[in-house]
Amino acid sequence: MKNSVTGNTQHLVILTGAGVSAESGIATFRDALTGLWENYDAETLASEFGFRADPALVWGWYEWRRNRVLRAQPNPAHYAISQLEKKLPKLTLITQNVDDLHERAGSLKVSHLHGSLNKPRCLTCDESYAFPDEVLPNATSDRESRIDPPRCDLCDGLIRPGVVWFGEQLPANAWKSAEDACRDCDLMLVIGTSGVVRPVADLPYLADKKGASLVQINPIISGLNGVANFNLAGKAGEVLPELYAAAFPNT
Ligand code: NAD
Ligand code: ZN
């Protein structure tokens, strides 16, 4: 029997997807097919080609998303994960999410494999761009508001969102560390991901191959049901605090 959920875990890897932020009111990619992405295809909103074709449409859409995240709060799943980090000898947190709810719940080191809404950069020279702290994005309730992207201080190029778009490579260092962590861990929790967006969906298979236990938390069947040793069917914000309480009673 492989290592159990509450066993003597030395290195826990947690991989999260959009589902971990669902209870904070941030739509998952699948939910969003009837909302977020409803009127445009992914190529239009989430590729360099789409951005170059209509920068104001794409920047405005990301500002709308960033604004939604700014108004959202971490949920009990994010907090349970940051608590686990304090209890275990080693925890590696890997996320596909572009929001910052893990950080705001207190997680100290978060590897964002798909980038971050808060880290825009110049399309031309790659210089990073800092959003003005005190100002909320202009986009309010309208997810189709057009907003011209800011310009780079160095070269006057367009500032682009800091997310990984279709057709782009994942950040090389973060990806290598994620692979190394999956090869090294004895337990992996996969939370709120459909397990179909590659190459991230390959990570649980890597951990499984190396002998780690795999536990999935998801209310519905995902692409990972076959490989997981345990499928905990439920919402992350309910299951994770229960798991934490079972593993660390009296804390
Ligand atoms: P996905 O939308 O493909 O899948 C979400 C999964 O979460 C589904 O399997 C669903 O059953 C599950 N889920 C829904 N509610 C849940 C809950 N309360 N608790 C646990 N699980 C729940 O998301 P994905 O696999 O992360 O891939 C989609 C892509 O979209 C990623 O690349 C990601 O970067 C991007 N995205 C990110 C955000 C975000 O940053 N919050 C939001 C939407 C999309
Ligand atoms: Zn520049």
**pLDDT tens across 54-88, in order?**
999 999 989 888 988 998 999 999 999 999 999 99
Q: Does 3.40.50.300 match the CATH number of domain 1-25+74-116+170-251?
A: no
Tokens representing residue 207 in the block: 């951990």
pLDDT digits (tens, 9 = 90+) for 111-157: 999 999 999 999 999 999 999 875 565 545 566 678 999 999 999 99
Tell me if domain 1-25+74-116+170-251 and domain 27-71+121-160 are identical in fold.
no
Distance 156 CA to ligand 2 centre (A): 6
Instruction: Specify the residue with its C-alpha closest to ligand 1, atom 11.
Output: 220
Rounded to whole angstroms, the Cα distance separating 32 from 112 reads: 20
CB contact set of 77 (below 8 Å; sequence gap of 6+) = 20, 23, 191, 192, 235, 236, 237, 239, 240, 241
| Ligand 1 shell residues, CB under 6 Å | 17-19, 21-23, 26, 28-30, 32, 96-99, 114, 192-194, 197, 217-220, 222, 235-237
Ligand 1 nearest-atom number relative to CA 18: 26
Ligand closest to the CA atom of residue 128: 2
Ligand 1 nearest-atom number relative to CA 69: 41
124 to each of 40, 121, 127, 151, how far by Cα in Å? 25, 9, 8, 10
Domain definitions of the chain by residue range: 1-25+74-116+170-251, 27-71+121-160
pTM: 0.93
Q: Does 3.30.1600.10 match the CATH number of domain 27-71+121-160?
A: yes
Answer yes or no: are the C-beta atoms of 188 and 207 closer than 8 Å.
yes
In the structure, ligand 2 is a single-atom ion and the residues with CB under 5 Å from it are 122, 124-125, 127, 152, 154-155, 157
Mean pLDDT confidence for 161-190: 96
Answer yes or no: are the C-beta atoms of 83 and 108 closer than 8 Å.
no
Q: How high is the pLDDT of residue 2?
A: 44
Q: How high is the pLDDT of residue 230?
A: 86
Q: How high is the pLDDT of residue 226?
A: 80
Q: Where are the alpha helices (DSSP H) in the chain?
A: 29-32, 42-45, 48-53, 55-71, 76-87, 101-104, 172-184, 203-209, 236-247
Distance 27 CA to ligand 1 centre (A): 8
Task: Map residue 240 onto helix, strand or coil.
Answer: helix
